[in-house]
Amino acid sequence: MWWHHEPPITLYLRRTVPLALLLLVLPAGLHAQFSVGGQLMQRSEYRSGYGKLIARTADPAVFIGHRARIHARYDHEKVRFLVSIQDARPWGAPDQPNAGDPYFSVHEAWAELPLNPSWSLKLGRQELTYDEARFLGNGDWTLRAATHDLALLRFEKKGTKVHAGGGYNVVGESLTEQHYTVNNRYKAAQFVRVEQRLGGFTGSAMLWANGLQQHHTDSVGNVTGHTMRYTYTFGLPTLRYVRGRLTTAAFLYLQLGQDRKGRNVQGHDAGAWITYALPLDTARGSGFRFTVGAELLSGTAQDATDAINRSYDPIHSTKHAWNGYMDHFYAGGRWADGVGLIDAHVRLRYDVGRRTFLSLNAHEFHAAATVMRNGERMDDRLGTELDFTVGHLLNKVVSLQLGYSHLLQTGTLEHLEGVADPAAVQNWGYIAILYRPGMKDRFTGLRF
């Protein structure tokens, strides 16, 4: 390959640094600004039941992962653009010598055209994060994170926001139509989202059309055609009212259309919670926050007599943040086509000061639809998870985050995950160091 003697990051810097220096010395009259930034995350994990119950005979996984990201941004009165590249991998994953590997990628590459003070058009690879990332999120917890290749038209004025966009994906340049075979991506998507703020109230409405391509083959496996099947997710992602120390919130998503197999989809996701914040020492920045809530993600009963898919799928959400940090539900594609989930939770956070916090989340999990084994109905209770997190700001750039989670599973969860002889202890822990100069989110993957 052409980079055998020059790694991609070296070539990138060699080409972009002279451009950066040129832009920095442009005349001030052009009203332009060039900036370079980035982040680095290093996270060591101990997995002994993370994502799936670990068997008694299996050994826990221990590894260190990292994400290094650098971006260059150019702001001008007539255009704004950003290019962000990243290296995301577990330590030791590539071969030696490290001449080239699949862990290096372009994370974002977009240009934004201001049309007037209220309207703008953003084109290219970009992150989408709305409504606390419950359906559309950037997956910041994962090493690679998530972006979309699309066009985004935005209107923002005072308390009103209207965003609409869409994308159309292909596997590569070609002379004729090619079947789309990229995993975990849609062939086409369109969406519109409206947000309105009035005093202490914030509300939003959204529609997302997710188009997947299904291939048709002949008797010997040759592709003979394809069908586009759309799943439509719409609803009220944010209904939030803040009054003093009390915040009440709710959301509702409905899901209709067809899945990749051609089944009719009838799913929903609904939840509500109340948060109370109690300041303790305003001078030190200490305080206490208490949240109680519940969420219901519909599922398909295992004794269902029809062919309807009633399993709601939070397709593009930052899944790690919501239904337990051990990621047994929906993260990584798990649970998306199953019996659904009821998650009753309590979240406690104590801010020791402005630099340190402690949090404890407790989840009680139940199946939302009937679970069957050997013709008999099982108890719908899945288990209890406790998530403990500590975060500390070492300085204005570096933050330390560590967590420990413990899962007390039931026989129903063991049956659904296909683990006949699970280990007596199901737990997970991590320590992460994040270097994020200038970034608002100093921690990752958390919801309080």
| Rounded average pLDDT per 10-residue block, the chain, 448 residues | 44 47 46 90 98 97 97 95 96 77 92 96 97 95 95 96 97 88 90 97 98 81 82 98 97 96 95 97 94 98 94 95 96 91 98 97 98 96 98 97 98 97 97 95 90
- Residue 287 DSSP SS3: strand
Chain length of the chain: 448
Q: What is the pLDDT of residue 184?
A: 82
Q: What is the dihedral of CA 302, 304, 310, 314, to 10 degrees?
A: 0
What number does CATH give the domain 8-12+33-435? 2.40.160.100
- Residue 184 DSSP SS3: coil
Q: What is the pLDDT of residue 178?
A: 85
Cβ neighbours, 10 Å, residue 339 = 25
Where does residue 288 fall: left (phi above 0), alpha (psi -120 to 50 degrees), or beta otherwise?
beta
What is the C-alpha to C-alpha distance for residues 185 and 138, in angstroms, rounded to an integer?
Answer: 14
Domain spans of the chain, in order of start:
8-12+33-435
Q: What is the pTM for the complete model shown?
A: 0.89
What is the C-alpha to C-alpha distance for residues 143 and 87, in angstroms, rounded to an integer?
Answer: 9
